[in-house]
Structure formats: C-alpha cells, structure tokens
Structure 1
Amino acid sequence: MSVLEAGRARAEARMTETVQIGIFVSGTDPDTLDAIRTLVTERYAGLGRIKYETLTVSDSDTSSQTVGSQTPMLSIPTGSPLINEGDEVVVTASRADHLLIGRRYTVEGAPQSGQTTSHRYPLKELS
C-alpha cells in the first residue's frame, strides 16, 4: 500500500458523520404545515467529516458592524463525485458529536486537488 493510499484510508476512518449533499427546495409539510426542505437532486450521500478550522470565533469590522465567524470544512472520501459551489450539505448522523446532526451548510468553493487524502470543501453554516 502506498503512502497516499494509507493516508486516504486513515482520513476515511476519521469520517464520523453521515452527510447528504445536493440541491434542496423549501416547501410545506401538508399534514403539519411546517416548513421543510426537500432534496431534489442528490450529489452525494455517505461518509463525511465536518471540522471547524478554529474554535475561536473571529471578529471583523465591516461597515461599522462587528461580525463573528467560524470556518467549517467538509471532508469526503477521495473518488467521490464533485460537489458544486452552492450545494447544500445536511448532517444526518454523527458518531463523534450528536450536536452536528441536523446542521445545514452550503458549499463555498472547490475542493483541494491533487494528491490529497480526501476532498475538502469550505462551508458556510446555515443553521
């Protein structure tokens, strides 16, 4: 096994979340009239890893308004289909942190490319 293959196996072993990625539309549950999101185009469903690059919320001053932000990243196995910028990511399960379940994100850019151990996408949290 090559070093790259070993790294990919190790990265995949650390993927503790199950994610569903694609295009979702807003709607209303006909029975409860609650607002819901429905998947209309699935790009990927399976293992993933949500990681916040920092535990510290960074502050910026934009137009005299202080904004706090954290930068989450999504890792999915190498060889997974390409995820498009703007696609929505939903965490459906997690073995590592139950507080991630139900969180929604949008993909904010392209993954790292080349000899990587996983596809890593920058995210923006929606919920």
Structure 2
Amino acid sequence: MGRKRAGSRFTETFTAYTVSSVLDEATGLYVDAETVLYADVAGHVKFPEMTVSEPGQAGQVMAVQDIEVHVTVGATPGVVVGVLWRVDGSTVDPSLTGRVFRTKGPPQAGQVTAHRYPVVSA
C-alpha cells in the first residue's frame, strides 16, 4: 500500500545513463558517448531541505545541498555510484526538465516505499 501511494506521487520521468569517452575514428578525437541503462523511469526529485551549506577547505567555498531521486523499488537495479539521472519531464515543475544529477551512493533498501538515491547536481 505504501509503495502504491509513493508511486502515485511520482511527477518526473528520468533517463538513467552513463557517459564514457570513445575515440571518434573520423576525427581522431575522443567524444562523450551515453549508454542508457533505463529510460522513462517514473519518480521524483526531492530537495529534503532548502539549506545550502558552504563548507570551506583551503580557501575553496563549495555549496552543498542534499538531493534525492526517488523511483519505484526494483525499477533500477543496475544503478551504482556515478550513474547520471536526466529529468526528461515533470508534471509539476518544468524547470526540472533537463537537469542532470549524479548518483553518490546506493539507495535505502529493505522495507521501503521507494528507492531513494542520494544525488548531486552534475
């Protein structure tokens, strides 16, 4: 019942993919090539809090915000650290379309209503 309710709140569609550098034989240059792992994945992006921290190390200031991509349990078993999520569409916020996030860890597992992947903006 919880998973069904979670799925009813999914307002975005995603493509999960990897990018690798391949040699273009015609030009002799390396170009980025996408390998799609999953397409048309229903889910949503969640910004758990509006707070953006700015930790400084050795004179570098970085803005950090916790972001999650939620998808149906079992829909994306091959997603590992480094996999990219592109928002292909959103029924509630068109500004999300085209944004890309990078997976930074495995999702919560077990008795969960959705897989929640921790991600960062890519």
TM-score normalised over the length of structure 1: 0.79
Residue 89 in structure 1 maps to residue 85 in structure 2: yes
Aligned to 2:27: none
Aligned to 1:111: 107
Unaligned runs of 5+ in 1: 1-5, 28-35
Moved over 6 A (4+): none
Unaligned runs of 5+ in 2: 23-30
- Of 12, 37, 47, the residue aligned with 1:42 is 37
Aligned to 1:58: 53
RMSD, matched Cα: 2.0
Contact conserved, 2:14 with 2:42, CA < 8 A, in 1?
A: yes
1:56 Cα offset (Å): 1.7
Change (3 A) 1:49 1:61: same
Contact conserved, 2:20 with 2:34, CA < 8 A, in 1?
A: yes
Aligned equivalents of 2:68 and 2:37: distance in 1? 20
Q: Secondary structure at the match of 2:54?
A: strand
Identity %: 30
Q: Secondary structure at the match of 1:53?
A: coil
Deviations 1:80-116 (A, max 9, x none): 1321111111000001111100001110000101100
Count of equivalent residues: 113
Aligned equivalents of 1:41 and 1:90: distance in 2? 11
